[in-house]
Amino acid sequence: MTLAVRCRNVVKSFDSEAGPLRVLHGVDIDVPWGEMTMLVGPSGCGKTTLLSIVSGILSFDSGAVEVDGHDVARMSDSARVAFRRANLGFIFQQYNLLPALTAAENAAVPLVAAGIDLETAAKKAMPLLERLGMGEHARKLPRQLSGGQQQRVAIARALVHEPKLVVCDEPTAALDATGGRNAMELLRAASVRADRATIVVTHDHRIFDFADRIVRMEDGRIAAVEDKAPEIVP
Amino acid sequence: MGTVALRMLFGDPGKYLGLVFGIAFATLLMAQQAGLFIGIIGRTVSQIVDVREADMWVMDPRVKYSDVNEPMTDTQLYRVRSVEGVAWALPFLRNMGTVRSPDGILEQILLIGVDDATLAGVPPKFVLGDLDALRAPDAIAIDKSGFMRLWPDAPLDLGREVEINDRRVRVAAIVDASAPFATSPVIFARYSLALNLAAQRRSQLSYVIARAAAGHDAAEVAARIAAETGLQATTSAGFARMTVLYFLRNTGIPINFGITIALGFIVGAAIVGQTFFLFVVENLKQFGALKAIGVGNLAILRMVLLQAGVAAVTGYSLGIGMAAAFFHFVPRANDALRGLVLPWEVAAGVAAAVLAIIAVASFASVRRVLVVDPAIVFRG
Ligand SMILES: Nc1ncnc2c1ncn2[C@@H]1O[C@H](COP(=O)(O)OP(=O)(O)OP(=O)(O)O)[C@@H](O)[C@H]1O
Ligand SMILES: [Mg+2]
């Protein structure tokens, strides 16, 4: 079976006033199916950059990136958009919910992007919202929800279309300790399964126990990969 | 994604209303001013339009528009009659005068004298009395709004006496005439009576109105009249066009209205452009998230255009509705504005202007959305 994500010698620079700033210096990483992989490391080491490249929303200078065996760099722009729509789920630190849509409608956005009408899509998202304990809040707008509740809506949105790869950047950074653990428990329970890979970028050592593997980055390189049985399995 | 786009739009009522009112304001201002402009310019040809029987006007070559006239001689009238293709040609007098009502109200009037035998040139619509009433000695017809100017509180009736240039005449009929450019009363009389009333120069033949015989083209006959008599001859439409062009070129009317209309466009475009730009910029992160999730640029473009389009249609409907209400109610309440309407051409033109405003407004915004890097969604 192919790997969920396979990166080889990925190099990425950004333009800055002082000339090009190299952020990734040849990253190799394998992400297997069926696991939650955490990408950790000091601020500025390139975690978000790597995650953006893996999810096909940022281009890179050289190297190879395969997601589910597909070469992301060689896709046309529109093919890459369609690939993301079908295969990726996103969870952002700032949730990025649409303020004018209800919880259920927000959770349904990937289905709407795939062509289902908003009302039908929102109904389809309901079972997942209920599993995440958000059934009774489904008709509320984001501003009527707490941070933890908003992140649960975001989790639902990341999973509603059953993507193969779920990518999360600092999903607990805006939550307190208990909120963060709750969100991770829900994410792990809902996301991790044999045919899916979940990548979580985080600073938050309090949630390291939820990982199957921890990949440590330092200064644009992979420093260590630690395979471990997660200490907390819900 | 259309529904999502609309929810985003309505979900920000402040900006949505700002957009709608900006467009409504621009629409109202442009439509109202353009409608007034066309109405007022249209009035310069009222006296041409009201002469339904004729399809040609003959005049001194120096005349440039219908408000001035250079007297012609009866001989010239006869020469017009003898041109091939002319069914008939009749004198038409047009003069300014002063009218005094017994109550002492003094008004500048427009005095029209028409052929004694046929009375051709009197507007066909009679409010009171009939055409034949003009055949009585000292009988005149007055237009309805002129009557109301002279006797503001009286009901419309016949038999009242007035003095025109110090000669006593009697109101024998009331007609519905098109509003003249200067909103003065219009008085119609037999040519012979009108000559007496004017009483300044011997001949007061201002125009010859004529009709082409069946099977003859008015434009061709007019050209023949001009060639054979040395007079200026044109079709009614041509005379109207000449008059309108004269007013457009020689008065401040187009500039004044043009400035207001342009102002409506510019202010509207500025308000709408700015509001829409703010709306889009504030939603950039949302659009970025949608792009990351897999909404393509084309779909995003459609969302933005739908948002702009819905705001435009709503604002335009509101604005054109208000303009239509203005043209419905105000001319009925204010006699000086009678007959003014909102032509569909104006509504269509303003719609095109609103389209241009919204195109300008979306242009900058659309660019921002299309170039937004979905990777921003991972940045704080
Ligand atoms: N669009 C950009 N333009 C220029 N430089 C950038 C850009 N994005 C990231 N960088 C730089 O690249 C480096 C890595 O950034 P990145 O966001 O990947 O780090 P990170 O590991 O996610 O950090 P943090 O833990 O603080 O989120 C940083 O030095 C950052 O300033
Ligand atoms: Mg980061």
Cα–Cα distances (Å) from B322 to B65, B86, B124, B318, B349, in that order, read 35, 48, 33, 6, 16
Per-residue pLDDT reduced to its tens digit, A100-159? 999 999 999 999 999 999 999 999 999 999 999 999 999 999 999 999 999 999 999 999
Position A68 scores a pLDDT of 94
Give the number of A-B residue pairs with CB atoms closer than 8 Å. Answer: 88
Is B4 close to A86, i.e. CB distance below 8 A?
A: no
Ligand 1 site, residue A56, Cβ cutoff 6 A: no
What mean pLDDT is predicted for residues A200-212?
Answer: 91
Which pTM does this prediction carry? Answer: 0.81
Strand partners, B94: B112
Task: Give the pLDDT band of residue A58 (cuts 50, 70, 90).
Answer: very high
Q: Which residues of A touch B301 (CB under 8 A)?
A: none
What mean pLDDT is predicted for residues B4-27?
Answer: 92
Q: Looking at this predicted complex, what is its ipTM?
A: 0.92
Is B380 close to A93, i.e. CB distance below 8 A?
A: yes
Write out the residues surrounding ion ligand 2, Cβ under 5 A.
Answer: A 48
CATH architecture of A35-42+75-227: 3-Layer(aba) Sandwich (3.40)
Q: CB-based contact (8 Å) between A220 and chain B?
A: no
Domain boundaries, chain A: 35-42+75-227
Give chain A's mean pLDDT: 92
What phi, psi does B282 have (nearest 5°)?
-65, -20
Q: Closest to A113 (Cβ–Cβ): which among B12, B295, B380?
A: B295
Our CA-based measurement puts residue B357 at a distance from the nearest CA of chain A, in whole angstroms, of: 26
Position B150 scores a pLDDT of 87
Q: Which residues of B touch A75 (CB under 8 A)?
A: none
% of chain B with per-residue pLDDT over 70:
98
Residue of A nearest to B295 (CA): A113
Q: Which residues of B touch A48 (CB under 8 A)?
A: 378-379
The first and second tokens of residue A215, run together, are 């990949």
**Most B CBs within 10 Å: which of A92, A105, A162, as the mutation test of the B interface?**
A92
* B195 class by beta-carbon count within 10 Å (0-12 exposed, 13-18 middle, 19+ buried): buried
Task: Give the integer Cα–Cα distance in Å for B180 and B12.
Answer: 50
Q: Closest to A92 (Cβ–Cβ): which among B7, B297, B378?
A: B378
Per-residue pLDDT reduced to its tens digit, B247-299? 899 888 889 899 999 998 898 888 888 888 888 888 888 999 999 999 999 99
User: Atom 16, ligand 1: which residue's CA is nearest?
Assistant: A46
Q: CB-based contact (8 Å) between A84 and chain B?
A: yes
Ligand 1 site, residue A40, Cβ cutoff 6 A: no
Per-residue pLDDT reduced to its tens digit, B129-153? 999 999 999 999 999 989 988 888 8
H or E element, residue A8: strand A5-16
User: Taking the CB of residue B33, how many other CB atoms lie within 10 A of it?
Assistant: 22
Q: CB-based contact (8 Å) between B7 and chain A?
A: yes
